[in-house]
Each structure stands twice: as structure tokens, then as C-alpha cells.
Amino acid sequence: MAITAATFEYFRKLVEQRSGIVLEAGKEYLIESRLAQVARAQGFASIDDLATDLGNTGFNSLHRQVVEAMTTNETSWFRDIHPFEALRKRVLPELINLRAAESRLNVWCAASSSGQEPYTLAMMIREHFPKLAGWKIQILATDISTAMLAKARAGRYSQLEMNRGLPAPLLIKYFRKDGTDWVIKDEIRHMVEFRELNLAERWPALPGMDIVMMRNVMIYFDVALKKDILRRVRQVMRPDGFFMLGSAETTLSLDEAFQREQIDRAVVYRLSGAKAGRERVGV
Ligand SMILES: C[S@@+](CC[C@H](N)C(=O)[O-])C[C@H]1O[C@@H](n2cnc3c(N)ncnc32)[C@H](O)[C@@H]1O
């Protein structure tokens, strides 16, 4: 379903306003491929007709469905492996020392897609940190996509999805087979709380975070939004916490308060003195 320039412009604006995702010129094919099914399912003869209809009504669930359809939800278990090695070898051991008196850890996995990232972390904690058994561990996983959040909460994955990065011993230990799918066991599922949160809008009050993982989402945003999000991450992070981005992302030339630290083949970011600290909640 080819689209007109006006239709492209309509969806480009809608998606950027509602999610921060930038659709540059040349991305017409993305709209055509992602929205053809939405248009068909809603009984429209074309994507142009869908745009006309949406343009004539206030924001509703169909606009929302369109925005969600334009998100890229690519993810996998232990994605890029090195960040998880850094968490296991350095970040978690250091936090265990720092928080020994509180026996409490807060992790925020922002843009968690279908859940592989926060569940990977939860399995890793179970596997390698028996010491944390008596701690209060809160793993908050958020995303803009309600479809992804529903899938993540269900913890149900196809064989193809399981083949992407999950070591066999963990598959056997933490999943049960149900038909052709695999379902994550409750002991891991209950370690993660999934909530809807749009990074481009105002965030709800969040607890001070020891680890913020915000991987492979800011690549879709423009510089102004990236800067604004990094400023708010600073307010949510505890001063001695850790921040992690995707391998193609950086805080460099966006926010000088973040100090880059290399841990083997992974990069983590920590806050430098002056700008560190939580200024307020509800950012
Ligand atoms: C490529 S996935 C990354 C998943 C995971 N963090 C990883 O690295 O494997 C990007 C996710 O960001 C989410 N996303 C896009 N825009 C968002 C926004 N404005 N607020 C919150 N999540 C958003 C998408 O729904 C998608 O699930």
C-alpha cells in the first residue's frame, strides 16, 4: 500500500508528537509496511484513508495503535552479552557492597519491549547472587507499547525467540514448555513489575534507581528529547548508581554529567559529583 506525501507527513507528526520517534524522509516504506495491516483490520481500503479518518477525530485508541505499530520491538536474551557480563562481574557486586545496610536494590529497565532484558537480569540475579535472596529487589520494566507489555507480563515466548541468546541450562531451569511455546516460571516472572511509561512524556514518581538500563530506544529520538531524557534519568538515578545504554548509543555531547566507564567490553555511565543526585521525583 503506497502512501501520499500528505499521509507520510500526517503519520510522521503523529508518531513524533506521541512517542518522540523520528521518522525521517525516506521512511515511507516503514509506514507502508507497518500500517497496512492496521488499515486492513480496521476496514480501510488504503493507509491514506486511515490517515484521513484519524485526522478528523481526536486522539483515540486507533491513533494509539498506529503509534505502537511504529515502534521497533527488536530484543533478545542477554542482548550484546557484554553489558550483562559487566553487571555480573562489577555492577552488582559493587552495589551489593554499597547497599549492604539497606538490603535493597532498585532497577529500572526502560523500554523493555517483550521482557527479555529484565527477565535476563532477574535470571542472572537468581543464578549468581544467592546473597540477594533476602534483599528487596525491585525490577521495574516499562515500555510505551501495551502489546509488548502484555506479552512481557505473560512471559510466553516462541521457540524462535528462545533460540535468541538464552543458554540451554537457563531455559530448562526457568521455563516450562506449553504447546510449542515456552513460559517463564513464576519465580522469575514475579521479580519483574511491568508498567506503561512513555519516555517522551512526563514520568510518574519513581524510586531512586541503583541501575537504569535504557538500551536501544534513544536511537529513535531527536537530540532535544535525548537531552531531556538524560536530564531526567539523572534525577531518577541514585548519585552512585549505574546507567546503561545500547551499544550504538552514548551520552557524549548530550549530557556532561555522565562519566563513561569501560568495564571490559561494556560501557556504563556514572554521575559526576556536581550534577549527581536526585533533585526531585515525578520528572
Ligand atoms: C528496540 S526495543 C529495545 C528493547 C530492549 N531495551 C533491548 O535493548 O533489547 C525499543 C523499545 O522502545 C520502546 N519505545 C519506543 N518509544 C518509546 C517511548 N517514547 N517511551 C517508552 N518506550 C518506547 C518500543 O516500544 C520498544 O519496545
Predicted pLDDT at 275: 47
Pair (48, 111) in one structural domain: no
**18 in the same domain as 86:** no
Please check whether residues 60 and 166 belong to one and the same domain: no
pLDDT score of 128 more than 60: yes
Is 283 within a domain?
no
- Give the CATH number for residue 36: 1.10.155.10
Number of domains in the chain: 2
Contact 159, 229 (CB under 8 A): no
123 and 61 share one domain: no
Q: What percent of the chain has pLDDT over 90?
A: 96
State whether the beta carbon of 218 lies less than 6 angstroms from ligand 1: no
For a substitution probing ligand 1, which of 18, 117, 143 has the most ligand atoms within 8 Å of its CB? 143
**279, 235 Cβ separation under 8 angstroms:** yes
Task: For ligand 1, say whether the CB of 151 is within 6 Å of any of its atoms.
Answer: no
Q: Is residue 39 part of a domain?
A: yes
CA distance 167 to 178: 19
Assess whether 9 and 131 both reside in one domain: no
Asked if 38 and 7 count as a contact pair (C-beta separation under 8 A), the reply is: no
pLDDT band of 277, cuts 50, 70, 90: very low
pLDDT of residue 283: 56
Average pLDDT over residues 103-119: 98
Q: How many CB atoms lie within 10 A of CB 65?
A: 17
Quick one: pLDDT at residue 27?
95
- What is the grid cell recorded at 237? 538515578
- For residues 73-85, average pLDDT: 98
- Assigned C-alpha cell, 102: 539497606
**Average pLDDT for residues 114-128, to the nearest whole number?**
98
pLDDT beyond 50 at 281: no
Alpha carbons 19 and 152: distance in angstroms, whole number: 20
pLDDT digits over 32-70, tens only? Answer: 999 999 999 999 999 999 999 999 999 999 999 999 999
User: Residue 127: what are its φ and ψ, rounded to 5°?
Assistant: -70, -45
pLDDT at 55 (0 to 100): 97
- The per-residue pLDDT for range 134-155, each reduced to its tens digit, is 999 999 999 999 999 999 999 9
Domain membership of residue 253 (yes or no) is yes
State whether the beta carbon of 111 lies less than 6 angstroms from ligand 1. Answer: yes
Ligand 1 centroid to Cα of residue 130, in Å, is 30
Q: Do 100 and 223 fall within a single domain?
A: yes
**pLDDT of res. 273:** 75
Span from the CA of 21 to the centroid of ligand 1 (angstroms): 10
Residues 267, 178 share a domain: yes
On whether both 57 and 125 belong to a single domain, the answer is no
Determine the atom of ligand 1 nearest the C-alpha atom of 74: 1
Residue pair 52/27 in contact by the 8 Å Cβ criterion = no
- Output the CA 63–ligand 1 centroid distance in Å: 18
> pLDDT by residue (tens digit) across 214-254?
999 999 999 999 999 999 999 999 999 999 999 999 999 99
Marked catalytic residue, from 48, 126, 143, 238: 143
Among 34, 69, 104, the domain-final residue is 69
Same domain, 208 and 253: yes
How far apart CA 252 and CA 237 sit, in angstroms, is 18
104 is catalytic: no
Among 69, 102, 122, residue at a domain's last position: 69
* DSSP states of 48-97: HHHHHHHHTS-S-HHHHHHHHHTS-----TTTTSHHHHHIIIIIHHHHHH
* Known active-site residue 240: no
43 found inside a domain? yes
Residue 65 inside a domain? The answer is yes
Ligand 1 centroid–CA 72 distance in Å is 7
Are 208 and 160 contained in the same domain? yes
114 shares its domain with 170: yes
In this structure, what CATH number is given to the domain that contains residue 263?
3.40.50.150
Interhelix angle 146-154/61-69, rounded to 10 degrees, is: 70
User: Domain of 53?
Assistant: 5-69
Report pTM: 0.95
Together in a domain, 151 and 31: no
| Res 170 pLDDT > 80 | yes
